[in-house]
A = this chain, B = another copy of it.
Amino acid sequence: MTMDPEQIDQPIEVSDALYSAVESGDAIALQNLLEPLSLAEALREILQMDSAGRATVLSLISAELAAAIIEEAPHETGADLMETLEVLRAYEIMEELDSDIQADLIGDMQYEDAEAILQQMDAEDAADVRRLIDYDGDTAGGLMMAEVFVFSDTQTVGAVLRQLASDDNDVDRYRGQHPYVLNADSQPIGVVSLRGLLTSKRSDRLTEIMVQPITVPVTASLSELEDIFDKHPFLGVPVIEEDGKLVGVVSRAAVSQALLERSESETMKLQGVVGDELRSMPTWLRSKRRLAWLSANIVLNILAASVISAYEETLTAVIAIAIFLPMVSDMSGCSGNQAVGVSMRELSLGLVRPKDAARVWMKEITVGVINGIALGLLIGIVAWVWKGNPALGLVIGLALALNTMLAVSIGGVVPLLLKRLGQDPAAASGPLLTTVTDMAGFFFVLSLASLMMPWLI
């Protein structure tokens, strides 16, 4: 079976058929319509429905498909979808998911709904989920799944081979994990390779063929996990508590997914969207979240405007300056944002540390001087030619050159300083940069103009 690219790029228009299947409550039609779609497409179709429609679809299709679609959604949206469902159905879907995904979803649900589902679950599974919720999202504890493929140090090669050969459903859940060997205190003391298993006798003890495993503490950060998976070909790493007990396994896939989500949420924050917004969310919530960020910005904007206000006399005398004020602040804002972008990327690649601020500044200022002079010359000439006044060209060009150097310096360094102060560089770099470049840009133009007043009028 080969995936046909046409089919994925240009999906059949299913919406109408889907709506009538929802209305008639036709479970088989729903399953047949959604199954051939990509998970993203199926999710998109469902998110376009109202709450009742979403519940109908997710209740009637197979629990397996429903689980896959819900897993495809961002957690917050996935939790919302779960909450539209009857408890028993939500439980059925939950059972199809790994414990780390269960914990993500349940952690984002209303307390009452979450408890109702946990009550349905096997006591041990529910305890696992409650335990996983307590860990920070981007640590080994928050990313691990509780299902582990373990054997005791008294077991033999034969026991592992029997387990692998059995059609026990659980083996599916450990997919890709190597078998870990635990001592009597539940501490992982060994890991066994497939080659080891195939080249030993069935009666051999696991302790004879195992090697010491690399483990991580529950507190290990996403970057630490990334580095371990970069350095080693493992598909999973065992996670231990302070007492050395094995509590779960972080899979390579969970780490990749978390890195991708971090990168996407950084992009959103740099654009001024904090939180997990999708357009399928309620309007008032989207509106409120965006306003929260914008309101903080108002204060900064008023600060910048007060610089112009202080030079009203200069402006009245040479009104042409008003034309170039936004241009100078916008252009240097753009230059500064480029430096922010490079710093954010180097931070996420681990190529700079917060304490490298001085070195980064040195690197940026050289670019700033070159680009400042180039842009200042260009815009200076534009101003001169446009208004026929060389002094105006000098004022605008010089102001832009100076402000570009400043903007690039600040843009490169601000993310590192924010990180050092324990702040989120993605959310705060932009507004900080814009305010400073606006204020400084207005100041450079207007104070230079005041100095050059005799030649300007």
Contact = CB atoms under 8 A, between A and B. Distances in A.
A164 interface: yes
A268 interface: yes
A216 interface: yes
Contact of A256 (B8, B260, B366, B442): B260
Contacts of A31: none
A379 to B, nearest CB: 7
Interface of A, secondary structure class, is helix
A273 B341 contact: yes
Contact of A360 (B40, B198, B257, B279): B279
A301 B348 contact: no
Contacts of A227: 8, 38-40
Given A231-B68, A371-B290, A371-B294, A221 B5 contact: yes
A297 B338 contact: no
Contacts of A279: 342, 346, 351-352, 360, 363-364
B228 A3 contact: yes
A164 B195 contact: yes
A287 interface: yes
- Most chain B CB within a 10 A radius of its CB, from A38, A287, A323: A323
A135 interface: no
A402 interface: no
Contacts of A363: 279, 283
A348 to B, nearest CB: 7
A340 interface: yes
A232 B305 CA distance: 56
Contact of A264 (B235, B277, B320, B345): B345
Interface string A345-380: 110111111000001100110110011001100110
A211 B349 CA distance: 41
A322 interface: yes
Interface in A63-113: 68, 71-72, 74
A286 B412 CA distance: 13
A1 B44 contact: no
B271 A337 contact: yes
A53 to B, nearest CB: 16
Contact of A308 (B312, B322, B337, B367): B322
Interface in A408-457: 434, 438, 442
B340 A271 contact: yes
A345 B268 contact: yes
A324 B338 contact: no
Interface string A263-275: 1101110111100
A291 interface: yes
B331 A298 contact: yes
A325 interface: yes
A331 B294 contact: yes
B39 A349 contact: no
Contacts of A39: 227, 230-231
A62 interface: no
28 contacts: A1-B215, A2-B240, A38-B230, A40-B349, A40-B351, A41-B350, A43-B351, A48-B359, A68-B231, A71-B230, A72-B230, A172-B233, A264-B345, A278-B342, A280-B351, A283-B367, A290-B367, A291-B375, A293-B338, A294-B331, A294-B334, A297-B331, A297-B334, A298-B331, A298-B379, A301-B326, A302-B382, A316-B319
